[in-house]
Chain A
């Protein structure tokens, strides 16, 4: 596939970010074989409007690359948990839509538990990311984790109390 091929070419995401327009146009020959890459500077906007699907592909691959390269292992663990929460929440919602919401308390507390845990995880993730250090001068990773634990306890206390 074209994405794989491009993977090897773009080694670091920083290289891609530094020169935005060449990377867009550079993907064009890889993905669409029949396109004519004659005059690069004139073609770039035309290609963007013409083949947005191909553009989209490159966006997604870029995103995945960046994620795999720049995310520490611990953060990936958090992300796995968040993905699980999304699945769990979606399943509950689906059940509610299909089978009715009869014990509405139970549905609400189950669903809010996943949503609440998701945003708490997201907050933890944001606070522990190196790039966001400047936003949180007062929050060390340890403090973030302690906050996370306390908030989760409160959240689950309310959920259990509400579940009937």
Chain B
């Protein structure tokens, strides 16, 4: 059993064509694994769009499919941001929707009747297969080792850092743009290596596609100039660099300006200026290069000094004038928050309030990348050893990506590709050294032992490699290292599967819980409530809710909303925040002015669902305070001792706020008197619940996660609502006498 198949197996890999065949098969299997590992959510729950943003993308896709491309391009949406509306066609990245629309029509043309929802759900897994392939191509540019590319493809296919944004149903911009990111980088490397205009143009086209798909395109816009700059600083300017970079920049910038949402940004904002600067710099360099070839050295020096001095002076003057005249916009707030992590918290609460904009906690690196994170430096080190132009790219990307991944949780996504590439280079290096069955035939036998071999390898990196690498002699050491690596790889697969299945496969629209007997129980309150809205309210009933739920209400309930996840108008969001955090008497006019018909809150107190509105409440207060500092005050929502409480000791402002009242209205009726308890915050609630005067409870879902209130109309008899509901409760009208002050003796 041992010798014969082994020999056959060894022979199979010999021929060139069989190798190619094997490679194709392996790549297909990798793509299959990448797709399959993202299907947990579909199998456990159903084919459903996840979370928040995907619901908007889904809605936009449906609009695109129903109304065609041109009306999508000019789409003005009057069902969001209620009184204002949103120029949706000009304020979104259309790449994702157009991609799935194209797939939909292509499948229709092939007479495959498929629902647009299923395309949207399965788009991210499908593209993850392509991402694995793109990573394979990119890695193959880095190293001659044939196995590195395949390993990188496997890593990319199953690394949780990428899966987190690309499970089935996660129909978000990142679904396609990570593929585009990696593929653009591959084309860039290819263009740089060959110095070909065609590859540069392809790179620009995919860059344009990337710009059309995701705001993260700025990452490419900054990384490619940085790479070029580093190359120039290392004295590696070449005509190939000139051709590749200028072709990419000239075409890519024009391509990016075709997207209405990006428009003139590439020539106006500072994020894009490095690219422009390097473009100009390369022109100078090319000119100097030409001059140097034309005239003698000493003359060239004179020329260089005059020329460089003049250019620098002119450039500096131009920059100063342009900045002071306000031609170049200052850096955007989201960009500042990349440099100073506390910037957003101080200046822009709306950005800081999104959890994925928070700085990354260090365990997240291990959680998302597992063993890749410790192989990553080894891979980067190996890149240093060779350090051709493309290895410089990996090094630069690694530095840049690591920094940004540390600043913002979401940017872990852009780090993952380079980690996979670097780790694959490291692993393949180990395997290439230890998987050779034949012992080296060289005579000097100083390398006997694994540790010595490793030491020698490390040494050869530091010294210039005068001697060729000898290799490993003993089979035992080979076996040990190889089996250890194999175990690590298997553990990696286990970890990835576990993380994907447990952490990243929840749709968050549908919640799952385990019953006592271990069976799964589905909590479907969101869809229940949205369905109620769809069936029981009139078509243009305006729903007010915190912005997190805007896209879902638009997508699932199909009702107009005041604010949504687009967050383009901070004042409008602050208005909603103020309505939520003020007293009823203050909130009611706001709601009337905005024609609000229903108010929707999310309350997790009964179930212990922690992502509810009371926990997000402080952000509403902060954002409202940013606009109306004299009317809303964050401090007033804390107890005198500085605690954020919801029980009897909560501050009066807290108890009076509309959000608190809506969350706990009627809640204590569920419990025996005095036993009402909030299971999220672990607080015992006061015996008497809050009263609501201006709202009627309209609907409360099964587990009380979603509560919908109807805004009362004006009172028929002209009383204010407090008086009217006091009358309803049977309280007598307070004596008017009291207002008159102390009784005085009549003197006339």
* Residue from the list B240, B257, B294 in contact with A108, Cβ < 8 A: B257
Task: Say yes or no: A122-B286 contact (C-beta < 8 A), given A20-B297, A116-B251, A162-B258.
Answer: yes
Which residues in B have their C-beta under 8 angstroms from that of A21? 298
Q: Measured between C-beta atoms, what is the minimum distance from A132 to chain B in Å? A: 5
Which residues in A have their C-beta under 8 angstroms from that of B275? none
Contact B201 A154 (CB under 8 A): yes
Which residues in B have their C-beta under 8 angstroms from that of A24? 296, 298-299
Contact A62 B258 (CB under 8 A): no
A12 at the interface (CB under 8 A from B): no
* Residue from the list B250, B286, B300 in contact with A155, Cβ < 8 A: B250
**Complex: A112 Cα to B266 Cα, angstroms:** 12
Mask of A109-124 contacts with B, CB within 8 angstroms, 1/0? 1001001100110111
Task: Say yes or no: A136-B294 contact (C-beta < 8 A), given A123-B242, A123-B246, A162-B257.
Answer: no
**Complex: A132 Cα to B293 Cα, angstroms:** 11
B703 at the interface (CB under 8 A from A): no
Q: Measured between C-beta atoms, what is the minimum distance from A54 to chain B in Å? A: 10
Mask of B15-47 contacts with A, CB within 8 angstroms, 1/0? 000000000000000000000000000000000
Question: Which of B58-66, B189-197, B625-633 lies at the binding interface?
Answer: B189-197
Which residues in B have their C-beta under 8 angstroms from that of A123? 197, 242-243, 246-247
Closest to B286 in A: A122
Question: Which of A1-9, A34-42, A142-150 lies at the binding interface?
Answer: A142-150
Contact A138 B196 (CB under 8 A): yes
Most buried by A among B205, B238, B240, B294: B294
Contact A48 B298 (CB under 8 A): yes
Mask of B204-219 contacts with A, CB within 8 angstroms, 1/0? 1100000000000000
**Complex: A124 Cα to B291 Cα, angstroms:** 18
A52 at the interface (CB under 8 A from B): yes
Closest to A62 in B: B295
Contact A108 B299 (CB under 8 A): no
Contact A139 B196 (CB under 8 A): yes
Which residues in A have their C-beta under 8 angstroms from that of B195? 127, 135-136, 139
**Complex: A66 Cα to B303 Cα, angstroms:** 15
Count how many chain A residues have C-beta atoms less than 8 Å from C-beta atoms of the other chain: 49
**Complex: A32 Cα to B240 Cα, angstroms:** 42
Which residues in A have their C-beta under 8 angstroms from that of B298? 20-21, 24, 48
Which residues in B have their C-beta under 8 angstroms from that of A109? 254
* Residue from the list B196, B201, B303 in contact with A59, Cβ < 8 A: B303
Q: Measured between C-beta atoms, what is the minimum distance from A155 to chain B in Å? A: 6
B264 at the interface (CB under 8 A from A): yes
Most buried by B among A56, A67, A136, A148: A136
Mask of B266-292 contacts with A, CB within 8 angstroms, 1/0? 010000000000000001001000010
Contact B299 A59 (CB under 8 A): yes
**Complex: A136 Cα to B199 Cα, angstroms:** 13
Closest to B197 in A: A147
Contact A126 B243 (CB under 8 A): yes
Q: Measured between C-beta atoms, what is the minimum distance from A17 to chain B in Å? A: 5
A33 at the interface (CB under 8 A from B): no
* Residue from the list B198, B249, B258, B286 in contact with A126, Cβ < 8 A: B286
A28 at the interface (CB under 8 A from B): no
**Complex: A121 Cα to B190 Cα, angstroms:** 21
A161 at the interface (CB under 8 A from B): yes
Contact B196 A119 (CB under 8 A): no
B306 at the interface (CB under 8 A from A): yes
Task: Say yes or no: A127-B258 contact (C-beta < 8 A), given A13-B294, A24-B298, A62-B294.
Answer: no
Which residues in B have their C-beta under 8 angstroms from that of A162? 254, 257-258
Contact A23 B302 (CB under 8 A): no
Q: Measured between C-beta atoms, what is the minimum distance from B298 to chain A in Å? A: 5
Task: Say yes or no: A161-B197 contact (C-beta < 8 A), given A56-B302, A56-B306, A123-B247.
Answer: no
B239 at the interface (CB under 8 A from A): yes
Contact B295 A16 (CB under 8 A): yes
Contact A151 B251 (CB under 8 A): yes
Contact A55 B286 (CB under 8 A): no
B255 at the interface (CB under 8 A from A): yes
Task: Say yes or no: A158-B255 contact (C-beta < 8 A), given A126-B243, A151-B247.
Answer: yes
Task: Say yes or no: A135-B238 contact (C-beta < 8 A), given A20-B299, A66-B295, A120-B250.
Answer: yes
Interface residues of B in 464-484 (CB under 8 A from A): none
Contact B296 A23 (CB under 8 A): yes
Contact B299 A136 (CB under 8 A): no
**Complex: A146 Cα to B196 Cα, angstroms:** 11
**Complex: A87 Cα to B283 Cα, angstroms:** 16
Which residues in A have their C-beta under 8 angstroms from that of B196? 136, 138-139, 147
**Complex: A58 Cα to B296 Cα, angstroms:** 11
Q: Measured between C-beta atoms, what is the minimum distance from A90 to chain B in Å? A: 14
A63 at the interface (CB under 8 A from B): yes
Which residues in A have their C-beta under 8 angstroms from that of B299? 20, 23-24, 55, 58-59, 62
Contact B242 A126 (CB under 8 A): yes
Q: Measured between C-beta atoms, what is the minimum distance from B105 to chain A in Å? A: 22
Question: Across chains A and B, which 7 residue pairs bring their CB atoms closest together, nearest first?
Answer: A116-B250, A147-B197, A119-B246, A66-B294, A158-B254, A20-B296, A123-B243
11 CB < 8 A contacts A-B: A13-B294, A20-B299, A48-B302, A59-B303, A122-B246, A123-B242, A126-B239, A132-B239, A154-B201, A154-B204, A159-B254
A residues near B (Cβ < 8 Å) are 13, 16-17, 20-21, 23-24, 48, 52, 55-56, 58-59, 62-63, 66-67, 70, 104, 108-109, 112, 115-116, 119-120, 122-124, 126-127, 131-132, 135-136, 138-139, 144, 146-148, 150-151, 154-155, 158-159, 161-162
